[in-house]
Every structure is written in C-alpha cells, then in structure tokens.
Amino acid sequence: MPSAAELFAAIVFSTIGMAAFVYGKKSAQGKPMAVGIVLMVYPYFISELWLVYAIGCALCAALFLWRD
C-alpha cells in the first residue's frame, strides 16, 4: 500500500504531465508531449519516494528549459 506522500507525488506529477501532453498535442510540439507521457507514467515504476520527487522536479524543469 503506497503512503500518502507517494500518492500525492503520483497525482501531482501525473497532472502536470497530462497538462504538458495536452499542450504539446494542441501546439503540435513533440517535446512537451514526450515529457508529459514520461511524467504520467514514471511514478508507477519508481518505488523510492525521494527518487520520485527528484525525477519529477527534473522533468518539470525540463519542460521550461527545453521549450522552443
């Protein structure tokens, strides 16, 4: 059973990923779509909580740093 912090991280990063995916799809850009898919999926495969937050923050930063 996941803890509250794990569920919170999964919900937050999946929501950000869905928003990035929808934005990328509407603007026909591949980078936000790819990062959005990764943000939505990766919390299900990582079990360490600190790693979930570290990867999620890095991917969210990548959304802002790699824009066109």
User: Would you list the domain boundaries of the chain?
Assistant: 4-65
Residue 15's nearest CA partner among 55, 60, 58 is 60
Can you give the pTM of this predicted structure? Answer: 0.88
Confidence of residue 50 (pLDDT cuts 50, 70, 90): very high
Q: What is the model's pLDDT at position 25?
A: 93
Average pLDDT, the chain: 91
Q: Residue 35: name the closest of 51, 11, 18 by CA.
A: 18
